[in-house]
Amino acid sequence: MPIYEYECQECGHCHEALQKISEDPLTECPACKKNALRKLISEAGFRLGGSGWYETDFKSKNKKNLAKSDSDSSSSKPAKSASNADA
């Protein structure tokens, strides 16, 4: 569940609320009890960036890029079978 930030337009009180995405935004300020809350837009708690974060986090060191290793092994298979046929 996401955490949303709210600010009261009357008293300026700021707080966070853990809510389902499908829930309606909160309207009543917990500090002054007026219906003046406004949902704020804030940054995400994490950022997916860089050049292939998934390659460095979830693969072993000898398998940096599975797409390259698949194409390398498939291109080397005909060469191996051709050398085996000659022998």
Q: What is the pLDDT of residues 16-65, one digit of tens each?
A: 999 998 999 999 999 999 999 999 987 776 666 666 555 555 555 565 55
For the record, the structure tokens of 5 come out as 């930030």
Q: Kindly state whether residue 48 falls inside one of the protein's structural domains.
A: no
Q: Kindly state whether residue 12 falls inside one of the protein's structural domains.
A: yes
Domain that holds residue 35: 3-40
For position 81, what pLDDT does the model report?
A: 47
- Domain shared by 10 and 34, yes or no: yes
Q: Let me know: does 4 contact 27? Beta carbons within 8 Å.
A: no
In the chain, the number of structural domains is 2
For position 1, what pLDDT does the model report?
A: 81
Half-sphere exposure of 19 (CA within 13 A, CB side): 13
